[in-house]
Amino acid sequence: MFETPPLWFITHACFYKYLISIRYSTGASSNPCSDTFCGYSPESEIEVKNVADFIRRNKSIIKAYITVHSYSQLLLFPYSYTFELAATHSELLKVAEGASAALRSLYGTRYTSGPGAATIYPAAGGSDDWAYDLGVKYSYTFELRDTGRYGFLLPESQIKPTCEETMLAVKYIAAYVQKNLY
Strands annotated E in 15-73: 64-70
- What is the H or E stretch that residue 142 is in? strand 138-144
Active site residue 143: yes
How do beta strands 112-115 and 74-77 pair? parallel
Question: For residue 68, which of 40, 103, 38 has the smallest C-alpha distance?
Answer: 103
- The catalytic position among 84, 143, 156, 164 is 143
Q: Are 112 and 73 in contact (CB under 8 A)?
A: yes
C-alpha span between 116 and 118 (Å, rounded): 6
C-alpha span between 104 and 106 (Å, rounded): 6
Q: Check residue 81 and report its DSSP letter.
A: S
Q: Does residue 148 come out as left (phi exceeding 0), alpha (psi in the -120 to 50 range) or beta?
A: left
Question: For residue 75, which of 105, 120, 21 has the smallest C-alpha distance?
Answer: 120
Active site residues: 143
